[in-house]
Every structure is written in C-alpha cells, then in structure tokens.
Amino acid sequence: MARLKIRSQIGVDEEARTKAILDDCGPSSAACAASYVLGKEISAAEGIAAKAKATGFTERQGVSDNGSSLAELAKTVKALGAQAKYPKTWAGAIDALRKGHALILNVSNGKPPFFSGVKMSAWHVRHMKIRPGDYYGHMVAAAYDPAIGFQYACPTMSGKGAEEYAIPVTEEQLRAIASSKGDAPEHRALIVYREIK
C-alpha cells in the first residue's frame, strides 16, 4: 500500500479550469483508483480516454455533457486494467480499503458537513468564493494505508506541490464525505481492485 496520488481533471481540461464545467471528475477518479491498486502511473487523460473507449461516448467541450455514473466507471476501470464491484454495506467498503483496494465515491462536493475539518482543493475554495452555495455532484477516490490512514482524493486538486497527494482523513470524515448525498453511502460507492490470478 502507499500514498494515493491525485489525478487532476483541472490539469488536463481547460473547461474545468476556466468555466467550472466538471464533467471529467469520474474518469479522473477512475484513473486515480486504478493507479493505486495496480501500482502504475495512469494519468487523468488516460482515464478520460478509457471512459470514451469503454462507453462509446466522447464529450463535447464547453458544455456539461459527460457526467459519469458508477456503472460507466466500472467499465472505465476495467478498460484501465483493474476490476470493480459494488459494496453490499459501508462496512464492506471500509474493509475493502483496509485490504488495499480503492473506492470511487459519488458525492455532493463541499456541501456541509462534507468538509468538516477536511482540507479543500484550492480550485474548490476559489469556486465557493465566486459561487457560494454552488455544491455540485462529483466523483472522488479514496484509499487506505496503515501508516497514513484513510486518504481522500478530489480530482479538482492540482496534482502538484501541496496537492500532489490525497488528503489524510479519519474514518468518520470519510463516511461524512461518502454520505454527502444522503445516508447509506454504500449505494454511491464502487470498489476498485486488482484481480489476483
């Protein structure tokens, strides 16, 4: 196990940087999770290309037309070489993390108490100043390392400097993040794992 490294949608998508159109968060988070479990470098751009290949849909720039479902991201991680399955319970999702797997979570980004005590990306902080109260549907990734604990990776982080790696969080904070669209967070989670042959 290791530190979870950010795969930044901001770094590869101008419309995310300049127009706040965040329709590449799903494949960027898929690249993040797949990179972690496979132990290899997979870029956000490769995740975006894998989603297009797996789903047969290529987005148009300048409009929000490429939001991801967990079912689409299950296909995306398989195109990247990993496997995906849905947890039956939140305890099962946490157990998967402790076993070295990763999660992709469908969340409402920034909606209180989502970020209670959790560092936000610089992009999100700027976005909230410009558009206060504009909480948005978002895909993020999570992992666990015995030395670090739980780690939360938002693809609006830059992937550079202080935002190169995921933010350490407590198990309680991770559940709050995963529950930002309501309780039963296992219904908005996807386990990403490496198949052992």
Dihedral angle of Cα 67, 89, 40, 42, to the nearest 10 degrees: 0
- What's the whole-number mean pLDDT along residues 167-195? 93
pTM (global) more than 0.85? yes
Rg (CA), the chain: 15
pLDDT digit string, tens, across residues 45-74: 999 999 999 998 777 666 565 678 999 999
pLDDT digit string, tens, across residues 132-165: 887 888 999 999 999 999 999 999 999 999 999 9
**Range of lowest pLDDT (87-91, 94-98, 179-183):** 179-183
For the chain, the straight-line distance linking the first and the last C-alpha, in angstroms and rounded, comes to 19
The 3-state DSSP class for residue 44 equals: helix
CB 121 within 8 Å of CB 160? no
d(CA 193, CA 98): 12
Domains and CATH numbers, the chain: 9-193 (3.90.70.10)
* DSSP state letter for 59: P
